Structure 1
Amino acid sequence: MFFATAAFFIVLGGLFSTPMAQAQETSGLANNAGLDNLAGQVYLPETDIRVFIFRLINIALSFLGIILLGLIIYGGWLWMTSEGDPGKIEKAKAIFKNAAIGLVIILSSFGIVNFILKALWGGEGGGGTRPGTAYDVGVGALGDGIIESHYPARGQIDVPRNTMIIITFKEVLDPKTVCGAANCDGKTVLKTENISIFSTANGAESREDADDAKVAAKIISAKVESKDNKTFVFRPDKFLGNQNQEQWYGVRLFGGKLKKSNGDAVKLGVADYYQWKFQVSTRLDLTPPQVSSIFPQPDNEADVKIIAGNAKQASWTITVIKTPNYFTPSTLTV
């Protein structure tokens, strides 16, 4: 059971180490201690400490898996060579039992810790990003969070320049926190301090996005329309990108500023924001919508007018032509 216990504490140690590293990186304070100038001379690694810890955990679990396999082989060999010796058979059974318990502990520990790590990296709801992602984009808000869907999709490319941006929430929002009015009728203006559409250098999530989302020169103004205050359509005032080269854009939602219809603040994960990016192409989408199917099917036959006469009362006569035979019970005389 030593290897199983060791696995649990190794993975548990990674759990507590990772949030500390994350808190240190997102504190906003310089923590390089002037080492940037020395990195090239002493070959300092650039790997995120969280990624390093996760890799270390995987290596340790792989090593413990090899030990488990060795124990199972040893137990099988011990049983086969026991020659009916009850002591050796019981020892082999104990090895199999301990190996099975150790396997359950290892898999359970890894699964639980991996789930918690994803939740901490990606916000609430277990959405999360995989280990190795350099930046928390709050994707836990999607899925079982408050955001049901959005268009364009995360990382989508070749998006037309004249695209609209659509976000659907699972709950009704206060439209005043989205468009500044009681009714987002398509003429109201997006509140960019709450939802920011901005141009960015590339599709990778980076810490500079938080600043780009607040730079007036990069923010895109748009009109907002919503029929139910759950699905919001954002129409940029100008075509996105240009005709010469593709351009990446980001959309960032600030949870602390968006409100539900009941006045409660919208929660978007641990970092309390949600962000995704998409790439705009150099073309405009000028193809009109095409109808693929309709229901019910059209009736192109000429209608036929039927003239019906007035209804008449039915009448008839019943004639009895024969007297019916009645049932007569038989009698028995003794």
Structure 2
Amino acid sequence: MRFKSTNMRNRIFAGAALCVLSLCVLSVAHPVLAQSATDQLEAVAAGGGLPTANIGIMIARVIRVFLGTLGIIFTIVVLYAGFIYMTAQGDPDKIKKAKDMIKNGVIGMIICLSAFSITQFILNRLLSAAGAGGSISSIADQYGEPLSGSLGAGIIDSHYPERNAIDIPRNTRIMVTFKQAINPASIISGYATSSAATDLNADNILIYPTAEGDGSKLAASEVLVTTNDEHTIFVFDPVPLLGDGIDDVNYTVALSNDIELEDGGSAFSGNYSGGYEWTFEVSTEVDLTPPKVVSVIPRSLASAARNVTVSITFNEAMDPVASTGTYAEASSGNLTNIEVLDGSGNNVEGTFAISNGYKTLEFTPVDACGEDPCGDTIYCLPGSDDLTVQAHAASLTDEPPQAQAVGVSFDGLVDAAANSLDGDGDGKAQGSSTDDVTGTDDYAWSFETTSEIDDTVPAITDMSPGIGDTFADQDADIEITFNVAMRSSTLNTSNVSLWPDPWYEFWFSTRKTDVADEDGDTLYTTAQISHPTMVSSDDEGWMYFPVVTRGVKSNAQICMFPAYGPDESGTGVCDVTEAYPYCCDGVSSDEACPTSVEGVDLPDTSE
């Protein structure tokens, strides 16, 4: 019996050794093939109807099947040993045999698992060195876009034109929004000695035709740079028209890692320390179409709670420097291009901010009137009052719809090509009502406020894809639908994000769409997350984690806490309470959702 046990142990060790040997052979077999030979083999396979998947991935699959089979065998051995032990009826030989089998089975499993870990490590290194797929690094090389991750995950919240945009007019401005205040001197040449400087720091911001390389970048004097008061948004206006008017021309914008935060240090750090760059395609056309208003909140003549967020959305990106800022009675540099007036015709103090791809303006008044469930301050408009919002068109040049610059900006709202607002939507820019010559293109609407405060907590009603779903379209936006109208400025990349697990360089950006009823009242909002092409299931697929923090707020400035949303089945509601306020993969929790994936930290859902 002891001999048999020894023989069995020898057989188990021999099997484990065979496992190690087989895996090692599989590990070193692939790199011997040159890339050209691989291509030829794949061509032959395709012609014969055979699989053409990456060989490294096929090897990995074989290894997993092989180890899975061995795992089943060892499990059967242990179960059989347990059966012998249970039926031994005190027979010492059977008991000893069973114990030896269990011990040897466990040892065999440990050896095989160790062999898997070692050979998988070797396989990944060899495949990576050979330029083949299958490892995390090779997947990142295939799907990741170099110097892109700062958009969304890093310092950049949004920019215009978007990544890989096409049909961009030759007279476009280029706009970048940072998540933190930037030292203007690192973007505007000469700003350190004069805040009136407007030349580009061409060492840190490079704009050039992609095919010609950065040696053809626009010079400092060829780009007019403006910024908002907070130094978080910068607008770059090329003096010469982009492109050549004959063919479409691809342009690159590169932001160097020498751009500094206003309080010191590099704006680009950690995984994104190399800086950021993107490309877009300039057409042969010049944009001479004025922007229009597509929706407002509250709608005209509506009655709204006094904590409603006044917002106006346009059909295209607007110049953020001309459309954002603050009105304060004690200030001399007030924003008057868009105003909120009370029933007596006086300006309501507050600030306009821009979001949603530079298409939506939102107003935050200064009157604090309460707190939301997260303890954040709610700001209110005058209660029980008739309010009017006036969006002013800009003065025109002698070539309408182009707006006349006033200093480095404009005296009204303009789009990214400096076309003045078309307030009446007739397709023509006719200037502001303050313009004595033309004056019919301001946009205004009125509504009344109640004395009430809307405290409805927003909830997620639908997500596409759902929890645990397989995403069929690698390029489709992620969509998150809420039950109420949401505050656009909170649907930013700090509060709504998307992360690959394991992490590789991956960008994302956010937008929103409002759905209104036939009267024009906004019913609910859907947030969209744009992203690069996701890893194909042919390359083993990848896990992706959308994260929505409680920083998202309704149009009434109420945070999403508790985090109501779909449950793990996708058919019910996550059972959140005040004691279990977080919803993680459809399951309620008393702790914030996990804040990291392999390789990077995620936003903290408790903030």
1:215 deviation in Å? 3.3
Q: Distance in 1 between matches of 2:232 and 2:153?
A: 16
1:60 deviation in Å? 5.4
**In the alignment, what sits opposite 1:241?**
243
Q: Distance in 2 between matches of 1:95 and 1:226?
A: 67
- Secondary structure of 1:85's counterpart equals helix
1:198 pairs with 2:198: no
Q: Distance in 1 between matches of 2:37 and 2:218?
A: 32
**In the alignment, what sits opposite 1:72?**
71
1:281 deviation in Å? 2.1
**In the alignment, what sits opposite 2:185?**
176
1:214 alignment partner AA: G
**In the alignment, what sits opposite 1:274?**
276
**In the alignment, what sits opposite 1:154?**
163
Cα 1:279–1:46 shift into 2, 3 Å: farther
**In the alignment, what sits opposite 2:51?**
none
1:198 touches 1:249 (CA, 8 Å); kept in 2?
yes
Q: Which of 257, 263, 268 in structure 2 is aligned with 1:255?
A: 257
**In the alignment, what sits opposite 1:324?**
none
Cα 1:92–1:71 shift into 2, 3 Å: farther
1:109 deviation in Å? 6.9
1:140 deviation in Å? 3.6
Q: Which has the higher contact order (CA 8 A, sep 6+)?
A: 1
What aligned pairs does 1:202-217 form with structure 2 within 5 A after superposition? Answer: 212-215=213-216
Cα 1:241–1:95 shift into 2, 3 Å: farther
Q: For structure 1, list consecutive stretches of 5 or more residues without a partner in the other structure.
A: 12-42, 48-54, 114-125, 202-208, 304-334
1:45 deviation in Å? 6.1
1:195 alignment partner AA: I
1:175 alignment partner AA: P
**In the alignment, what sits opposite 1:299?**
301
Q: Distance in 2 between matches of 1:221 and 1:275?
A: 20
2:226 touches 2:234 (CA, 8 Å); kept in 1?
yes
Q: Distance in 1 between matches of 2:221 and 2:146?
A: 20
1:71 touches 1:96 (CA, 8 Å); kept in 2?
no
1:223 deviation in Å? 1.2
Q: Which of 167, 176, 198 in structure 2 is aligned with 1:188?
A: 198
**In the alignment, what sits opposite 2:227?**
226
- Whose Rg is larger? 1
Cα 1:288–1:238 shift into 2, 3 Å: same
Q: Distance in 2 between matches of 1:230 and 1:246?
A: 31
Q: Distance in 1 between matches of 2:299 and 2:139?
A: 47
Q: Distance in 2 between matches of 1:220 and 1:249?
A: 18
Q: Distance in 2 between matches of 1:95 and 1:215?
A: 65
Cα 1:99–1:234 shift into 2, 3 Å: farther
1:161 deviation in Å? 2.3
Cα 1:252–1:69 shift into 2, 3 Å: same
Q: Distance in 2 between matches of 1:284 and 1:46?
A: 49
- Secondary structure of 1:294's counterpart equals strand
- Secondary structure of 2:297's counterpart equals coil
1:226 touches 1:233 (CA, 8 Å); kept in 2?
yes
1:168 touches 1:232 (CA, 8 Å); kept in 2?
yes
1:139 pairs with 2:140: no
% identity of equivalent residues: 26
Cα 1:216–1:241 shift into 2, 3 Å: closer
1:137 touches 1:273 (CA, 8 Å); kept in 2?
no
**In the alignment, what sits opposite 1:94?**
106
What is the CA deviation profile of residues 116-171 of structure 1, one whole-angstrom value per residue up to 9, with x for unaligned ones? xxxxxxxxxx9x982247x9832243333222222222222222222221111122
What is the CA deviation profile of residues 305-326 of structure 1, one whole-angstrom value per residue up to 9, with x for unaligned ones? xxxxxxxxxxxxxxxxxxxxxx
The count of residues paired between Structure 1 and Structure 2 equals 239
Q: Distance in 2 between matches of 1:195 and 1:102?
A: 50
**In the alignment, what sits opposite 2:576?**
none
Cα 1:215–1:295 shift into 2, 3 Å: closer
More strand by share: 2
Q: TM-score, normalised by structure 1?
A: 0.54
2:250 touches 2:281 (CA, 8 Å); kept in 1?
yes
- Secondary structure of 1:67's counterpart equals helix
1:105 deviation in Å? 5.4
1:196 alignment partner AA: L
Cα 1:278–1:80 shift into 2, 3 Å: same
1:179 touches 1:188 (CA, 8 Å); kept in 2?
yes
Q: For structure 2, list consecutive stretches of 5 or more residues without a partner in the other structure.
A: 1-15, 28-33, 39-53, 86-97, 126-135, 303-342, 344-607
Q: Distance in 1 between matches of 2:275 and 2:72?
A: 51
Q: Distance in 2 between matches of 1:159 and 1:169?
A: 22
1:76 deviation in Å? 5.6
Q: CA RMSD in A?
A: 5.0
1:250 touches 1:277 (CA, 8 Å); kept in 2?
yes
**In the alignment, what sits opposite 1:321?**
none
What is the CA deviation profile of residues 269-295 of structure 1, one whole-angstrom value per residue up to 9, with x for unaligned ones? 576332211112223333322212223
Cα 1:70–1:248 shift into 2, 3 Å: same
Q: Distance in 1 between matches of 2:58 and 2:221?
A: 46
Q: Distance in 1 between matches of 2:183 and 2:139?
A: 29
1:226 deviation in Å? 1.1
Q: Which of 264, 289, 300 in structure 1 is aligned with 2:291?
A: 289
- Secondary structure of 1:248's counterpart equals strand
